[in-house]
Amino acid sequence: MLMLHCPNCGRDVDETDLHAGGEAHLRREGAEASAEAFEDYLFMRKNPKGVHFERWHHTFGCGKWFHAARDTATLEVFGTYSAQTSEPPKEIIDRIAEKRPNWSWESDT
């Protein structure tokens, strides 16, 4: 069972208390955006085999959203962080870079 630390309420929670919300840091498009931009926002996904930044909802708990950095090929969790940000905090990026030398935040975005 996947376990994640909820940074909002400070609890370590089981997957059964959470709801997965898909890729994080998507840029939300407004009404004036092009069809391509909307397609990117609504449907296109990185879906990487490896480092993934994603949204989680602490549904059966504090009811708040947070972000997690996880490896989809090994299920390793690098860390969780607040959802009030448009990119992962530096310590998470550094931690991943240390464990995955071929990965970098720049090439990921």
Partner 1 sequence: MKRYSVFAIAREALRQHQGWNRAWASPEPRSKYDVIIVGAGGHGLATAYYLGKNFGITNVAVIEKGWLGGGNTGRNTTIIRSNYLQDPSAAIYEKSRSLYETMSQDLNYNVMFSPRGVLMLAQTEHEVRGYKRTAQANALQGVTTEFVDAKRVKEICPIMNTDGPRYPVLGGLWQARGGTARHDAVAWGYARACSDMGMHIIQQCEVKGVTTDGGKVTGVSTTKGDIGCDKLGMVVAGHASHLAQMAGFQLPIESVALQALVSEPIKPCMDIVVMANTVHGYLSQSDKGEMVIGGGTDGYNNYTQRGSFHHVEETVRALVETFPMLAQLKMLRQWGGIVDVTGDRSPILSKTPVDGCFVNCGWGTGGFKAIPGSGWAMAELMAKGHSPLTEEFTMNRFRHGKFIDESVAAGVAH
In single-letter form, the type of residue at position 62 comes to C
7 binds partner 1 (CB under 8 A): no
What SS3 state is found at 70?
strand
Q: Which of residues 65-94 bind partner 1 (CB under 8 A)?
A: 70, 72-75
48 lies in the site for partner 1, by CB under 8 A: yes
Both structure tokens of 95: 């931690």
- Pairwise CA distance, residues 19 & 90, whole Å: 25
Q: 33 is in the binding site of which of partner 1, Zn ion, none (Cβ under 5 to 8 A by kind)?
A: none
C-alpha 3/C-alpha 70 separation (Å) is: 11
Please tell me whether residue 22 binds partner 1 under the rule CB under 8 A: yes
Residue ranges binding partner 1 (CB under 8 A): 1-2, 15-16, 19-20, 22-23, 35-36, 38-39, 42-49, 52, 54, 70, 72-75
